[in-house]
Amino acid sequence: MENKMIAVLFGGQANEHPVSLMSAASILRNMPAWYETYLVGITRDGRWYHYSGSIDDIENGKWEENENNEEVILSPSTEHHGFYQLKSHSIQKVDVILPVLHGRFGEDGTVQGLCQLNGIPFVSCSMTSSALVMDKHFTHVICEAAGVKMAKYLVLRRHEEYDLEELFHEVEYKLGLPCYVKPACEGSSFGAHKVSNLMQFKEYVADAFSYDDKILLEEFIDGYEVGAGVMGHGGKVEAGEVFEIIVSSEMYGYAEKYDGYKTVINTPAKSLSPELMERIKTEAVKIYRLLDCDMLARVDFFYGSKGLVFNEVNSIPGFTSHSLYPASFKAAGLSYSTIIDRLIQLALERK
3-state secondary structure the chain: CCCEEEEEEEECCCCCHHHHHHHHHHHHHCCCCCEEEEEEEECCCCCEEEECCCHHHHHCCHHHHCCCCEEEEECCCCCCCEEEECCCCEEEECCEEEECCCCCCCCCCHHHHHHHHHCCCECCCCHHHHHHHHCHHHHHHHHHHCCCCECCEEEEECCCCCCHHHHHHHHHHHCCCCEEEEECCCCCCCCCEEECCHHHHHHHHHHHHCCCCEEEEEECCCCEEEEEEEEEECCEEEEEEEEEEEECCCCCCHHHHHCCCCEEEECCCCCCCHHHHHHHHHHHHHHHHHCCCCCEEEEEEEEECCEEEEEEEECCCCCCCCCHHHHHHHCCCCCHHHHHHHHHHHHHHCC
pLDDT of residue 231: 98
Handedness of CA 15, 18, 19, 23 (dihedral sign): positive
With beta carbons less than 8 A apart as the criterion, state whether 161 and 151 touch. Answer: no
Look at residue 252 in the predicted model and tell me its pLDDT: 47
CATH class of the 153-219 domain in this structure: alpha beta
Give all strands of the β-sheet with 236-247 in edge-to-edge order: 263-266, 236-247, 224-233, 296-304, 307-314
What is the structure's pLDDT at 343?
Answer: 98
* Strands, sheet with 193-195, edge to edge from the N-terminal-most edge strand: 153-157, 214-219, 179-183, 193-195
Instruction: Write down the pTM of the prediction.
Output: 0.93
Residues sharing a CB contact under 8 Å with residue 252, sequence separation 6 or more, in sequence order: 189, 225, 245, 263
CATH no. for 4-122: 3.40.50.20
Pick the closest to residue 111 from 136, 74, 142, 60 (CA basis): 74
Buried-state track 325-339, b at ≥16 Cβ within 10 A, e below 16: bbbbbbbbebebeeb
Which pLDDT score, from 0 to 100, does residue 262 have? 60
How many angstroms separate the CA atoms of 159 and 140, rounded?
21
> Across the strands, what pairs with 122?
97
- At residue 250, the pLDDT reads 59
Q: Which residues of the chain have pLDDT under 50?
A: 252-254, 256-258
pLDDT in tens, 119-177: 999 999 999 999 999 999 999 999 999 999 999 999 999 999 999 999 999 999 999 99
**What pLDDT is recorded for position 256?**
46
pLDDT at 90: 98
Residue-wise over 40-50: b if at least 16 C-beta within 10 A, else e? bbbeeeeebbb
Cα 313 to Cα 293: distance, rounded to the nearest angstrom: 10
pLDDT given for residue 189 in this prediction: 79
CATH 3.40.440.10 fits 132-147+222-349, yes or no: no
Residue 253, pLDDT score: 47
Parts of the chain belonging to CATH 3.30.470.20: 132-147+222-349
The segment(s) of the chain belonging to CATH 3.40.50.20 are: 4-122
User: What pLDDT score was predicted for residue 251?
Assistant: 53
Q: Which amino acid is at 208?
A: A
